[in-house]
Amino acid sequence: MRKFLPLVIVVSLGFLAGCGGNGGGGSTPVGVPPAGGNVQPILVNGGPVSGVIYPNGAFTSVTLCNPGTTTCQTIGGILVDTGSFGLRILSSEITLTGLQTLTSGSSTLYNCIQFADSSFLWGAAEVADVQIAGETASSETVQVIADPTGFGIPTDCSNGGIDEDNQAGLGANGILGIGPEPVDCGLACDPTGGNQFPPTPFYYTCGGGTCTPSFVSVSQQVQNPVALFSTDNNGTIVELPELSGAAASETGSLIFGIGTETNNQIPSSATIFTLDDEDTFSVTFNGTTYNSSNGTASFIDLGSNGLFFPDTSIPTCTDVPDFYCPTSLLSLSATNLGTNAATGTVNFSIDNADNLFAEGSGADAAYSTLGGPNTGGGFDYGLPFFYGRHVFTSIDGAAVPSGAPAAPWWAY
């Protein structure tokens, strides 16, 4: 009963216009990257928004190229996120004019993503070559974030939330989603996946002023760029240096591949925690276990900017109740448990967020002891968890090193 139309590509005019303009994060002609370059610097530096500090955000740059060409643009200020999948960039930061828009007939394919904080991003699904360090994801679908003209964002995408279609709202020029899945939706959104209805809110075909939920083949969904690299494509390592308290900035590394190079081997000291169907694991804290089976899932997420967990005994800040404001530094401990029964103890500290934000004349961007409540939820090990650790994220369905359990898993 479904009618499949062949997919065509609209290539914008201006395809041969050179290396774009000089807005946004700048524009750089990119040659052949050095072989073996699987290390990308990341900075916890407050982000790209002038006058605004993004606390505990890891930022990097990516290079977008018109598919199959060396006409490229490097865009900085991209938030690195292990809690989502795919590259999403503000249209306002893109000066390339040759990206390929996915279309069907006279309609254009759009993508929506919602985040747990009730923010959302809407934008066209466009095809680009994506280069990060020495790695390239060829012809991958990215979301170009922009509000539509001529029609409204479908209400099941906006969903009463915040439209972060601008730098000030997003706090970044884009999001690089490199979590443990290769695409942002998967088989549920694929026309051959067996679902009767296209799930929402993921993909929409929009034309003539209206949008309709749509199926999209997995190969054309918004993809985790790492999964599309020709090598070093089975996962990532995020490394941030040890940090005690707060600092103006921190510099770390995003390393591509697990067990594929000499610099991305799993050390014998690391523990591998396999994940459940929702890419979460179990954490026991103060005698209570938080996992998906009781509705309180726990997870590691570089894109969360603190350590968020339920503890009604810690006072929250009066001005910003999303963070904890204990009267003195708290030393706490939790136990992680993977679906493979691997366990590990995590020692962490929570400090008064008001004091942290005031230190360093308010200019600090990196905080190892920033935390807040996740009332009704479980453990959300955000960016502070990564200070002093090498955190491996393997991608669902990807090959794993000999002896390692099937992906997805986290290891540290």
Partner 1 sequence: MSPMTTSKQHQVGGGFAWAKWTSMALMIFGQCLPASAALGGDLSSVQADQAHMKAILKTTAAPAYTLHEIKTEMGTTVREFASADGRVFAVAWHGPSVPPMQQILGTYFQQYSAGVQAHHAGYVGRRPLNIQEPGLVVQSSGHARGFFGRAYVPGMLPPGVTPDQIR
User: Which residues between 152 and 171 bind partner 1 (CB under 8 A)?
Assistant: 155-156, 159-162, 169-171
User: What is the three-class DSSP state of 308?
Assistant: strand
Q: By CB under 8 A, tell whether 186 contacts partner 1.
A: yes
List the Cα angle 223/263/228 in 5-degree steps.
15
Residue whose CB is less far from partner 1, 209 or 376: 376
Work out the angle at residue 135's Cα, subtended by the Cα atoms of residues 58 and 48, and round it to the nearest 5 degrees.
Answer: 30
Pick out residues in 255-284 that bind partner 1 (CB under 8 A): 278-280
Q: Among residues 106, 150, 197, 345, which is the contact residue for partner 1, using CB under 8 A?
A: 197
Distance CA 370, CA 355 (A): 10
Q: Which is nearer to partner 1, 3 or 149 (by Cβ)?
A: 3
- The footprint of partner 1 on residues 215-244 (CB under 8 A) is 215-217, 219-220, 230-231
Which region, judged by CB under 8 A, interacts with partner 1, from 13-21, 205-213, 241-249, 330-338? 205-213
Q: Per-residue contact track with partner 1, 281 to 310, x per CB under 8 A?
A: -----------x-xxxx-x-x-xxxx-x--
Stretch of residues binding partner 1 (CB under 8 A), selected from 30-38, 235-243, 245-253, 335-343? 30-38
In angstroms, give the least distance from the CB of 267 to partner 1.
Answer: 26
- Distance of closest approach, residue 362 Cβ to partner 1, in angstroms: 12
The distance of closest approach from Cβ of residue 200 to partner 1 in the complex, given in angstroms and rounded to an integer, is 7
Q: How far apart are CA 374 and CA 228, in angstroms?
A: 34
d(CA 320, CA 308): 14
Which CB atom, from 2 or from 242, has the smaller least distance to partner 1? Answer: 2
Stretch that binds partner 1, among 26-34, 241-249, 263-271, 385-393 (CB under 8 A): 26-34
* Amino acid occupying residue 263: N
| Binding residue (CB under 8 A) for partner 1 from 75, 87, 109, 255 | 109
Residues in 114-153 at the binding interface with partner 1, rule: CB under 8 A: 114-119, 127, 129, 131, 134-136, 138-139
Separation of alpha carbons 189 and 360, rounded Å:
47
C-beta of residue 151 within 8 angstroms of C-beta of residue 211: yes
Q: Is residue 177 involved in binding partner 1 (CB under 8 A)? A: yes
Residue type, 376: G
Binders of partner 1 in range 324-363 (CB under 8 A): none
> Quick one: 95 or 136, whose CB is closer to partner 1?
136
Instruction: Name which of 119 and 339 has its Cβ closer to partner 1.
Output: 119
CA gap 256, 251 in Å, rounded = 17
Joined tokens for residue 331: 């030393």
Q: Which is nearer to partner 1, 252 or 306 (CB)?
A: 306
Asked whether 147 and 169 are in contact (CB, 8 A), the reply is no
Per CB under 8 A, contacts with partner 1 among 53-82 are: 54-57, 65, 67-70, 81
| Residue 400 Cα distances to 224, 280, 300, 391, angstroms | 17, 19, 19, 15
User: With CB under 8 A, what is the number of residues at the site for partner 1?
Assistant: 112
How many Å apart are CA 130 and CA 141, to the nearest integer? 9
Pick from 23, 3, 173: nearest CA to 104: 3
- Backbone CA torsion sign across 182, 300, 83, 161: positive
